[in-house]
Chains A and B, each alone.
Chain A
Amino acid sequence: MATVEERVKAVTGQLLGIDPATIKNEDKFTIDLGAESIQSIELVAMFEEEFGIEMEEEAALAVDSIGKAVDFITKVCKDQGVDV
């Protein structure tokens, strides 16, 4: 099974049209990966579907990098009892 990091990069790459292999943990969604505000919302929705979780909008939109997204989603999965 793919790791949270691999799945986060796969979803991000799919939405933003980027090869997931080129995405680094320190990449920031807006400055480095070019995500617009709409795409930030779409990413949150896609992560929710990918992991079967529901994220707090305010906290989720404050996450600004791939690495932080991995940590955040891992925690939400744990809180909501989702195995990853």
Chain B
Amino acid sequence: MPTTKQYQPLTSGQIDALESNGCLAEDWSRVQVATDFRADRVRRVQFIGDIRLGTFNGLVPNDSGPPKLAGIYDAVLANCTIGDNGRIANIGSHIANYTIRDRVSIEGVGIMETNPGARFGNGIEVQAVNEGGGREVILLNDLSAQLAYLQCLVRWRPTMTHRLATLVKQAAESARKDTGTVGSGARISSVARIVNVEISDAANIQGASALEDGTILSCPEAATFIGPGVVAEHFILAEGATLSDGAIVRQSFVGQGCQIGKQFSAEGSLFFANCEGFHGEACSVFAGPYTVTHHKSTLLIAGLFSFYNAGSGTNQSNHMYKLGPVHEGKLERGCKTGSFSYMMWPCRVGPFSVVLGKHTRTFDTRDFPFSHIEAKSDGRCEMVPGMYLSTVGTVRDGAKWPARDRRRGPVRRDIIDFDVFSPLTVGRMLRGSEILRNLMETTDRSKQFVMIHGAEVRRVLLRTGIKYYRGGIEMYLQERLVSRIEIARRNGMNDLAKSLAIAPDAVFSEEWIDLAGQMMPQSRFDLLADRIESGEIDSIDRLQLELGRIHAAYLEDEWAWVVWAYRKHFGKEIPMMTADDVKAAAESWRDVRTKFLKLILGDANREFDELTRTGFGVNPSSNELTADFTAVRGTFEDNPFVQKIQREIEEIAQRAAAFS
């Protein structure tokens, strides 16, 4: 908060004391101090221009040793306000044009200055998703994954894009100042160069090489850390983020709870909540929440990702030496790429799919979520639709993301819907099933493969894919039905018809979209875009409020979709269901869900089979190999995840019985 502290001119006695401490001033009359100022804590300091000093008492915590005396020692300060009880020491060149709040420690810094009109990273245009431009995202302290998505990926509505850009630029312009701030309790040490960087409360900057034109958002609940060797230019770093170990970040946004380090480099990229980037490289990447790349030789380029895990050596290419780096790719939420997988953009991968191998042909599998997509040695792209619906990894992922939300501050900018099964993914299953069914009915049995948008599917797997998707669709729809009634009962609502009714303000769309973590019906999105275009949404705050309202309506909108999908798939009207209908649905759900969980257990069990044991231990006998494996991996029966699934199977039976 801006200080309201009272300052007064130095007395002649204070000037004498300061001079005897080796201090000099361009003009002592421009130096003001707090009423309880202590001159003995200010030594060998040069004051240039307008200076205001607080009081310095007690000790300041020190990360690498005993606490040190508060005060200012060996520094040149130009046009600065210094709060109470902090420590500024051993400044190589100078600190200029900064307001430094209370309890701040700045030690061993070379240059720290703000130049007139600094914008602190706000207003920087990032060439996200398309390295060739055309999808620019303007950086803003308040940037959320959804705001970035709206800026970047809705270019078919130029009026909306233009109006939004105007709002963002206005907001960015308000960040422009001639004086930077270092927030209360911030700690900065051993940094060579800090220029035009706004630093919020409790930020911790230790050993960074150079920070220029940026904002470091931070708060006591979610302190932001910048560590050794970091170079960051034209950036915004959000609360609770970590940037360390030689990371290089240029023209990029690093969102709340992100961890970027171990020599990772990012250029023109956006990382939203809880992303992790180590060792590798990102270029023109829109990394939605939970995008993770941990390994060397991994290049993410010109793509949209979220809930994504990049295997080692994963990379993509975005041009073919033709019209420049203009190709782009989209991996929808929950995808993984295997070690040394490669995709030649443009490609689009449906949600929760796994991509293996070197893909030198483009493909689009958006309608086939949970698929296995593998490049064969002859260059063909083969897909097994729906294969990962019932694998242990998918289920574990669904549970781990909410548990690993590192955002701790009072503000969580990115809206995240974590559901693995949703109108988005189940809607794709419905559409994918129709495509597979049509192909199954029209493809001659002599054909071994069918081609679907660049991906080949073995003909006999068309039926398998339909079977997988049918299981997923039925499990989801019946689960939502059962849950709806359970929740209503818990809330004292025993009127079945009322429990099953669609809320009057719910919005239905067959199509749902994923705004980088937030899922919503297409018509909600269209209305939002209309309101931006019309000017009804006239500020970024208002937009975030509207996105929050849409998020709050998620469950009721989802229910409207479930009612529609239930009719489409089962031919039954949910609002007309009787208690007997619900009982039958609950029993069916019990069977489908139990079967699904048993498939998960079967998949988990393969992690303990004979083949998996191969390679454990060093030349052990058969018995020793088993003992060695068990010592390291445990047993199937003792595995906590397996036990959790087994408990769920028991609970399902009880839940279904409650409908009898």
Q: Are B387 and A38 in contact (CB under 8 A)?
A: yes
Which of B387, B445, B611 makes the CB contact (< 8 A) with A31? B611
B30 interface hit (Cβ, 8 Å): no
Q: Does B464 contact A (CB under 8 A)?
A: yes
From the candidates B458, B595, B599, name the one contacting A42 in the complex (CB within 8 A).
B458
Q: Is the CB of B599 within 8 A of A57?
A: yes
A48 near B374 with CB under 8 A, answer: no
Nearest residue in B to A28 (C-beta to C-beta)? B610
Instruction: Tell me if B598 and A41 are in contact (CB < 8 A).
Output: no
Give the chain A neighbours of B390 by CB distance below 8 A: 57
Bound Cα distance A37, B387 (Å): 10
Residue-wise interface mask of B (408-428) relative to A, using a CB-CB cutoff of 8 A (1 in contact, 0 not):
000000000000000000000
Query: Per-residue CB proximity of A53-78 to B under 8 Å, as 1/0?
Result: 00001100110000000000000000
Specify the chain A residue showing the minimal Cβ separation from B468.
Answer: A57
State whether A44 touches B610 (Cβ < 8 A): no
Residues of A within 8 A of B611 (CB): 30-31
Q: Is the C-beta of B162 less than 8 angstroms from some C-beta in chain A?
A: no
Please, which residue of chain B has its CB at the minimum distance from the CB of A54?
Answer: B467
Q: Is the C-beta of B577 less than 8 angstroms from some C-beta in chain A?
A: no
Q: Do A57 and B467 form a contact, CB below 8 Å, given A42-B460, A62-B602?
A: yes
**B window 415-460: CB within 8 A of A:** 445, 458, 460
A41 in complex: contacting residue of B384, B445, B595, B602, CB < 8 Å: B384
The distance in angstroms between the C-alpha atoms of A44 and B467, with both chains bound, is 12
Closest A residue, CB atoms, query B602: A58
Task: Using known A-B contacts A30-B611, A31-B610, determine if residue A45 contacts B598 with beta carbons closer than 8 Å.
Answer: no
**Docked-complex contact A41 and B387, CB < 8 angstroms:** yes
Q: Is the interface of B mostly helix, strand, loop or mixed?
A: helix
Q: Is B169 an interface position by the 8 A CB rule?
A: no
Bound together, the chains give a CA A48 to CA B598 distance in angstroms of: 21
Q: Counting CB contacts under 8 A, is B165 at the interface? A: no
Query: How many residues in B have their beta carbons less than 8 Å from beta carbons of A?
Result: 20
Instruction: Assess whether B461 is interfacial by the CB under 8 Å rule.
Output: yes
Q: How far is the CB of A60 from chain B (nearest CB, A)?
A: 10
- Expressed in whole angstroms, the minimum distance between the Cβ of A13 and any Cβ of chain B is 15
Would A58 and B460 be within 8 Å (CB), given that A31-B611, A38-B372 are in contact?
no
For chain B, residues 445 to 489, give those with C-beta under 8 angstroms from any C-beta of chain A.
Answer: 445, 458, 460-461, 463-464, 467
For residue A23, CB closer than 8 A to chain B, the reply is: no
Which residue of chain A lies nearest to B610 when distances are taken between CB atoms in the complex? Answer: A31
Indicate if B606 sits at the interface (CB-CB under 8 A): yes
Tell me the bound Cα distance from A58 to B460 in angstroms.
18
Q: Give the residues in chain A near B384, CB-CB below 8 Å.
A: 38, 41-42
Q: How far is the CA of A35 from the CA of B609 in the complex (A)?
A: 14
Nearest CB on B from A55, distance (A) = 10
Q: Is A49 an interface residue (CB 8 A)?
A: yes
Contact mask for chain A residues 10-46; partner B; CB cutoff 8 A; 1 contact, 0 none:
0000000000000000000011000001100110111
Q: How far is the CB of A19 from chain B (nearest CB, A)?
A: 19
A37: which of B445, B598, B599, B606 is its contact (CB, 8 Å)? B606
Could you say which of A31, A37, A49, A57 has the most chain B C-beta atoms within 10 Å of its C-beta? A57
Q: How far is the CB of B409 from chain A (nearest CB, A)?
A: 42
- Separation in Å of the B448 CB from the closest CB of chain A? 10
Do B463 and A48 touch across chains, with their CB atoms under 8 A apart?
A: yes
Q: B460 to A49, Cβ gap below 8 A?
A: yes
Q: Which residues from chain A contact B599 at a C-beta distance below 8 Å?
A: 57-58, 61
Q: Closest CB of chain A to B377's CB: distance in Å?
A: 13
Complex alpha-carbon distance, A31 and B613, angstroms: 11
**Which B-chain residue is minimally distant from A61 (CB atoms)?**
B602
Interface centre among B374, B464, B611 (most CB of A within 10 A): B464
Return the chain A residue nearest B606 by Cβ: A37
CB distance from B472 to the nearest CB of A (A): 12
Nearest Cβ distance between residue B380 and chain A, in whole angstroms? 14
Given contacts A58-B602, A62-B602, contact A42 B463 (CB under 8 A): no
Using Cβ atoms and an 8 Å threshold, which residues of chain A touch B606?
37
**A46 (CB) vs chain B CBs: closest residue:** B460
CB pair A45 B463 closer than 8 Å: yes
- Residues of B bordering A, CB below 8 Å: 372, 374, 384, 387, 390, 445, 458, 460-461, 463-464, 467, 595, 598-599, 602, 606, 609-611
16 A/B residue pairs, CB under 8 Å, sorted by A: A30-B609, A30-B611, A31-B611, A37-B606, A38-B387, A41-B387, A41-B464, A42-B460, A42-B461, A45-B460, A45-B461, A45-B463, A45-B464, A48-B463, A49-B460, A61-B599
Q: Given contact pairs A41-B461, A61-B599, enumerate 11 new A-B contacts (beta carbons under 8 Å).
A: A37-B606, A38-B372, A38-B374, A38-B384, A42-B384, A42-B461, A45-B460, A57-B390, A58-B595, A58-B598, A62-B602
